[in-house]
Structure 1
């Protein structure tokens, strides 16, 4: 009998030896992270540990001092502070972001609005929305083009319990479709949801535990 072969996981995001300092203050000192397709990863650290700095580097919005980031596929980035225009409505944001991604229609955007439960605010200016609803829109525009890799910075901030549960339903759907999701957080309430938890301390990432035994992880 020939030995059974186990499919080799496909890395979609790989960061190696990431260094970043602000002036004389080193924040990242050789951080490494590998994320496979269909994998859910939490990067956990105290405030000031450099989590948002790492996410900006992974997203390509902040240059590294040293190191390399390799991305395979498309990227969605949801920063902690929503990048939204307070004078535009929810519907206008969907249209503008769809045009930026050259999407032929708004079907995915409207599906996400429905899944996150804020349909009634379609014609409301963002400046009139609650913080939680703005965060829903922030997540929606990051997912509008159905990216292969999704980077989220403290994504549940401002969510009520129902929205929190809807968020995880959405994440489960993404993983089941082979999308990779990286969540930056200072607290992890449900560790068993994740394939990998990586602690960021002293500028480096250390894998803590893999909750799903059949999933390859690397960091």
Structure 2
């Protein structure tokens, strides 16, 4: 390697030539995505473009018709609709998810709750929470085990301005620690925050010019 050159990082998440159809409706037609550690990526598409299908495939909850998805490390998945038990408190959610992940304590969970600013709801049941607070809990549970890759589907829906800013502080911390974050969204307000923006159109991903360091996305 030449002196002063930047080492090439191996991707932590990669999708190659991914195809997915529902009956005769072809949703993904050879989508490619490569994400390196410490990178923030936005996949942008209109409603019906296949964003949710792509997210489920990246998360490993939906099989591909053809193509390949590889993941190096651990995964956190935050769907758009929180998967919570309405009768359990915030604290109980943290304890159950920590037990499922075999975490030694709730240190990371309490840190995230404080960072996102909803400590006063620890004893509240999920069914009584506002949509924004439910989304905070949803995000906390996805990050509880400190995953290497975080997949987010419209993550800041329902957030007030203060929470929106706290969210980006959290994302900056994740990136600084080498975590990869992929946001699936229909609209990007602050493009300069991202290392890569890719438009999902006609079942393929096409990169836009990025203001940060560029990554590879095929089409």
Offset of 1:3 from its aligned partner?
A: 4.0
Distance 1:86 1:144 in 2: 19
Gaps of 5+ in 2: none
* Structure 1 position 216, deviation (Å): 4.3
Q: Cα distance, 1:211 vs. partner? A: 1.1
- Deviations 1:61-92 (CA, angstroms, capped at 9, x unpaired): 00111110000000000001101100000000
Q: Who is 1:21 aligned against?
A: 21
State the 1:10 CA deviation.
2.4
- State how far apart, in whole Å, the 1-side matches of 2:79 and 2:157 are: 11
CA RMSD of aligned residues (A): 0.8
| Equivalence for 1:39 | 39
Q: Which runs of 4+ in 1 moved over 3 A?
A: none
Q: Is the 8 A contact 2:44 2:187 kept in 1?
A: yes
Note the C-alpha offset of 1:218.
1.2
* 1:145-160 → structure 2 map (5 Å cutoff): 145-160=145-160
**For each residue in 1:130-187, what CA deviation from the matched residue of structure 2 results, as whole angstroms up to 9, or x when unmatched?**
0000000000000000000000000000000000000000000000000000000000
2: CA distance, partners of 1:116 / 1:103: 21
TM-score (norm 1): 0.97
Matched residue SS, 1:175: helix
3-state SS, counterpart of residue 102 of structure 2: coil
Decide which of 210, 215, 218 is 2:216's aligned counterpart: 218
Aligned length: 216
